[in-house]
Amino acid sequence: MELQVDLAVDGDMLLAVVKGVATFEESWQVLKQICDMALEKHLNRILIDGNAVHATPTSFERYDIGVKLVDYCGEHKLWPKLAFVGHPRTLDGFGGVVARNRGVHAQVFPNRQEAVEWLQAA
C-alpha cells in the first residue's frame, strides 16, 4: 500500500490525514503536496495526522526530511506552524526538532486535540 493523503481546509488550518506505508521518498512527496496546498490556500497552520502511517524511518531519514522541509518552505516563502500527530515509532519528533532548529515551527503530539490547541494558541 502506498502512502495516501486526504487534504481539507478547516477554518484557518489545513488538515492532512496521511495513511499507508511510508517510504522516505513517499513521505517527502506527501510533505511537499501538503506544503503546496497550504501555499495555494494561503494557510500557515497545518495539522498532519499520521496515526494511520506505518513506517520505521531511520534517524538519518528523519533528519533529512526535516532539512528538506525547511529548504522547501524557504524556497517557497512558507513558514508554517506544523503540528504532527502519530505513533512514537513513526513520529518520534526528531524530524520536528531538526525543522525547528532551522526556523520552521513544528511539534509532535500524541493526539489531535492537543495539536489543534497548540496550532490555535497565539
List pLDDT tens digits, range 42-98: 999 999 999 999 887 788 888 898 899 999 999 999 999 999 998 776 676 667 777
Angle in degrees, CA 23, 32, 9, rounded to 5 = 115
Model confidence over 27-48: pLDDT tens digits?
A: 899 999 999 999 999 999 999 9
- CA–CA separation, 87 vs 22, rounded Å? 13
Q: For residue 51, give its domain range.
A: 4-120
pTM of the model: 0.90
3-state SS of 10-58?
ECCEEEEEEEEECCHHHHHHHHHHHHHHHHHHCCCEEEEEEEEEECCCC
Count the domains in the chain. Answer: 1
CATH number at residue 81: 3.30.750.24
Contact 97, 72 (CB under 8 A): no
